[in-house]
Amino acid sequence: MCYASRTGTQRNLAALRAHGWGLLVSRAGAWRTEGFANYVLDNGAWSDFQAGRDFDGDAFERLIDKLGARARWIVLPDIVAGGLKSLELSLRWTNRCLSICPAVLIAVQDGMTESDVAPYVGRSIGVFLGGSTEWKIRNMAPWGAFCRSRGIYYHVARVNTGKRMAMAVAAGADSVDGTSASRFATTTRMLDLASRQTDLWSPA
């Protein structure tokens, strides 16, 4: 399943609907689902990281109260490239988010290992591959194998090229998200085709 970052451009929204994509609504953006029944919620930590600002927990509370009940899943608050401190933050929010939404994802970051996450994941708690770009690319396949072996939902963030999409498919990702399809309607078809290519080496 492919999710695009929320956009208000009608041409791009029409392209996303035509290809069956869902919408990723971020705490750091506009809190609108644009009529999409299939949407997920992101905590906005990546936008905070890029802007050099602290995570806004109060705003995240308001977002999940407003849209969390109908979301497919929520990305638990995290710290980009924050290792175990990020995991600690995510775990503090787990019960709160699960009280609203039936599924949440732990954003795995630089320095986190499968053994760190294994005690907490399961049917309602999956894995969201975040972290720095270099770390994510290097660890995409191992985290995919970990999730597949335990029947855990696996999402890969920031997938904006055909090559990155092919890597996510090969790693056995259940879903991906990106911004390029939200900005350019012509990109949606290319990414959609890449997402549907069969990879014989995929753990799936």
Encode pLDDT of 44-79 as tens digits: 988 888 888 888 999 999 999 999 999 999 999 999
The reported pTM is 0.86
Distance CA 37, CA 167 (A): 27
Identify the helix (H) or strand (E) that includes residue 116. Answer: helix 114-117
> Could you say which of 3.40.50.11540, 3.20.20.60, 3.90.170.10, 3.40.50.920 is the CATH number of the domain covering 2-195?
3.20.20.60
The residues near 133 (Cβ < 8 Å, ≥ 6 apart) are 158
Summarised one tens digit per residue, pLDDT across range 149-167 is: 999 999 999 898 888 999 9
